[in-house]
Amino acid sequence: MFCLLYRHLSLYYRELTQNYLPNCHHIEGIEYGAEDITILENGLAFLSTGLKYPGLPSNSDDPGKIYTLNLMDSKMKIKAMNIKGDFDKDSFNPHGISLYTDDKDGAVYLFVVNHPQGNSQVEIFQFVEDENALQYIKTIKHELLHNVNDIVAVGTESFYATNDHYFTNGILKFVEPFLSLSWCDVVYYSPQTVQVVAGGFLISNGINISPDKRHLYVSDFLKHKIVVLEIQKNTVLSHVKEVDVGSLCDNIEVDRESGDLWLGCHPNGLKCVFHDPNDPPGSEVIRIENILSEKPRVTQVYSDDGSVIIASSVATQYGGKLLIGTVYQKALICDLKL
């Protein structure tokens, strides 16, 4: 019974028809995934690469890296970022990322979910633009941040984060989705306050914030929904609505001008579990327009059966280009038809 329920939740029956965009090509140098991607207002993209996650393939023993990609440069070449300061680069295992620009002085901070030795913690770096480097600031650990997947920064030391499992024991984490336990949550962290601010998710993956900073968007992964929460205070959220997306959506990127949501999704979760090279997981990009309206528009922008790109986890657009990242494989860049 549990297996049948999980097969339903994982959309095991879905088979994709290809829905391609023009002029797509793999981003040179990305071979071991770009699980999360986010972009500064000036077109500089940050890519979190090399994630090693229990139950998923890992094709490299090297530590993870953060790369930049200047989308205003026609060469489209990635650059590895140097990490400065007293930071253990050998165990770096980056997952979700978020950028924050301080209005006071324009300083840019990169928040990174890190899983050294399988643990969960959040690293805060300051971006040193002229060196394409990250200056290590601090590491944040807390018992409520026990299975962190994604993060959205809302201050120089404050953020919301999703936990994608309730249990920390490896066996219990594995069986948790099969039992359909909606016990995952969202945590707010600041130096003064740490607390769970939303719960009831059946694996909470991606999280992001609206351009006006009034709403949070959370991916309720196995329920195939995006949950909209209104921020009353930092630690008080109210449930607004849920939007069906028909796919297992991972990270969420928000267009800072239109407010549209861009989602990197797994169309068939069971294929992600089995990793059959002869029947690989596909990829899907979904866009949500007017999410706060009575009738949001949900559109499939791109889909592939795994022949071009495997297990998409993030999608984001800038200047007519769409970037698609994956959990453990390649990354793609395409021209966008808007």
Dist CA 144 CA 269 (whole Å): 27
Dist CA 226 CA 228 (whole Å): 7
Residue type, 295: K
Feature table: binding site for Ca(2+): 35-36, 97, 149-150, 205, 250-251
What are 177's two structure tokens?
A: 């989705």
Query: What pLDDT does 112 receive?
Result: 98
Kindly report the average pLDDT of the chain as a whole number. Answer: 93
Feature table: binding site: 35-36, 97, 149-150, 205, 250-251
Confidence of residue 16 (pLDDT cuts 50, 70, 90): confident
pLDDT for 131-187, tens place per residue?
999 999 999 999 999 999 999 999 999 999 999 988 888 888 888 877 788 899 999
- The arithmetic mean of pLDDT across residues 105-114, rounded, is 97
- The arithmetic mean of pLDDT across residues 285-306, rounded, is 97
Please give the positions annotated as active site: 95
Torsion of CA 72, 74, 75, 79, to 10 degrees: 10
3-state SS string for the chain = CHHHHHHHHCCCCCCCCCECCCCCEECCCCCCCEEEEEECCCCEEEEEECCCCCCCCCCCCCCCEEEEEECCCCCCCEEECEEECCCCHHHCCEEEEEEEECCCCCCEEEEEEECHHHCCEEEEEEEEHHHCEEEEEEEECCCCCCCEEEEEECCCCCEEEEECCCCCCHHHHHHCHHHCCCCEEEEEECCCCEEEEEEEECCEEEEEECCCCCEEEEEEHHHCEEEEEEEEECCEEEEEEEEECCCEEEEEEECCCCCCEEEEEECCHHHHHHCCCCCCCCEEEEEEECCCCCCCEEEEEEEECCCCCCCEEEEEEECCEEEEEECCCCCEEEECCC
Dist CA 247 CA 284 (whole Å): 8
Provide, rounded to the nearest whole percent, the portion of the chain with pLDDT above 70: 97
Starting from the edge strand earliest in sequence, which strands make up the sheet with 225-233, in order? Answer: 204-209, 215-220, 225-233, 236-244
Cβ-defined contacts of 79-82 (< 8 Å, 24+): 79/132, 81/132, 81/133, 81/134, 82/131, 82/132, 82/133, 82/134
Query: What pLDDT does 234 receive?
Result: 80
pLDDT for 7 beyond 70 = no
For residues 11 and 210, which has the higher predicted lDDT (pLDDT)? 210
Domain locations in the chain? 1-335
Query: What pLDDT does 1 receive?
Result: 45
DSSP-assigned beta bridge partners for residue 233: 236
Provide, rounded to the nearest whole percent, the portion of the chain with pLDDT above 90: 79
Query: What pLDDT does 2 receive?
Result: 41
CB–CB of 302/265 below 8 Å?
Answer: no
CA 213 to chain centre: 18
> Which architecture, in CATH terms, is 1-335?
6 Propeller (2.120)
Confidence of residue 279 (pLDDT cuts 50, 70, 90): confident
pLDDT for 322-336, tens place per residue?
999 999 999 999 999
Starting from the edge strand earliest in sequence, which strands make up the sheet with 194-201, in order? Answer: 148-153, 159-163, 184-189, 194-201
pLDDT for 213-238, tens place per residue?
999 999 999 999 999 999 998 889 99
Query: What pLDDT does 58 receive?
Result: 79
- The arithmetic mean of pLDDT across residues 266-295, rounded, is 90
